[in-house]
Amino acid sequence: MAHWLVKSEPSSWSWDQQVEAGAKGTSWNGVRNHTAKLNLMAMKLGEQVFFYHSNEGKEIVGIVEVSKLYYPDPTDKTGKFGMVDFKAVKPLKTPVTLEQVKATPTLAKMSLVTSFRLSVQPVTDAEWKLVCKMGGV
């Protein structure tokens, strides 16, 4: 099973809003980058995803799960992009900041650091386990 990371600015969609969406979850739309699109297309039901607050906070705050596979994004008038649905699983007991990721040798080459503008990123098993440990889950 693969792991992923998605980014959201808290002022647009926060972890608290994701949790409030409940078991129904929410659509992850508005992705307009080809690589991010391919990552969304590669996701499978039930895969775990880090929820990262970008720009404001710059920290991994929780874990969501893929609850609906890739489908067309109705907000995209070109028809080129799609979305998946996520539901909240659990918060990290302690958010893991971008600075902590950069300062940890095992994580320094994580996509979060090397492809910082990419909104949907793969996470290796080793990275997943270490971030979960750092976050207390």
Residue 112's pLDDT band, with cuts at 50, 70 and 90, is: very high
First to last CA, the chain: 18
CB-side exposure of 73: number of CA atoms within 13 Å? 22
Q: What is the distance between the alpha carbons of residues 73 and 31, in angstroms, rounded to a whole number? A: 9
pLDDT in tens, 39-96: 999 999 999 999 999 988 899 999 999 999 999 999 999 999 999 999 999 999 999 9
CA distances in angstroms from 28 to 58, 81, 126, 130, 137, listed in the order given = 19, 11, 25, 25, 24
CB-side exposure of 74: number of CA atoms within 13 Å? 1
Q: Which residue in 7, 105, 23 sits closest to 60, CA to CA?
A: 7
pLDDT in tens, 10-38: 989 999 999 999 988 999 888 899 999 99
pTM, 2 dp: 0.94
Q: Which residue in 89, 35, 50, 45 sits closest to 67, CA to CA?
A: 45
